[in-house]
């Protein structure tokens, strides 16, 4: 795929793109924040367990 193919593909994607509705945006935001919170909680638990094993 050359430069022309890339530009054509990009134009096609931009034609199909649209602004999300408020409900779609809200759901996406909630899922993203939930994922970040879960990853943070896992990291906190791993750090807490590691510190407990070190005896600090």
Half-sphere exposure of 2 (CA within 13 A, CB side): 1
Structural domain for 34, as ranges: 21-56
**pTM given for the model:** 0.64
Say how many domains are in the chain.
Answer: 1
> CA neighbours within 13 Å on the CB side: how many for 11?
6
d(CA 47, CA 51): 6
- How many DSSP H helices and E strands does the chain contain? 2, 0
CA angle, residues 48, 54, 56, in degrees to nearest 5: 75
Task: Say if 49 falls within a structural domain.
Answer: yes
- Residue 20 and residue 28 in contact, taking contact as beta carbons nearer than 8 Å: yes
Inside any domain, residue 14: no
In a domain, 10, yes or no: no
* Domain assignment present for 42: yes
What confidence tens digit (pLDDT) does each residue in 6-46 have? 999 999 999 999 899 999 999 999 999 999 999 999 999 99
């Amino acid at each position: 795929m050359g430069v022309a193919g890339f530009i054509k593909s990009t134009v096609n994607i931009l034609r199909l793109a649209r602004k999300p509705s408020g409900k779609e945006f809200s759901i996406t935001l909630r899922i993203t924040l939930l994922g970040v919170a879960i990853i943070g909680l896992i990291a906190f638990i791993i750090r807490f367990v590691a510190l407990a094993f070190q005896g600090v």
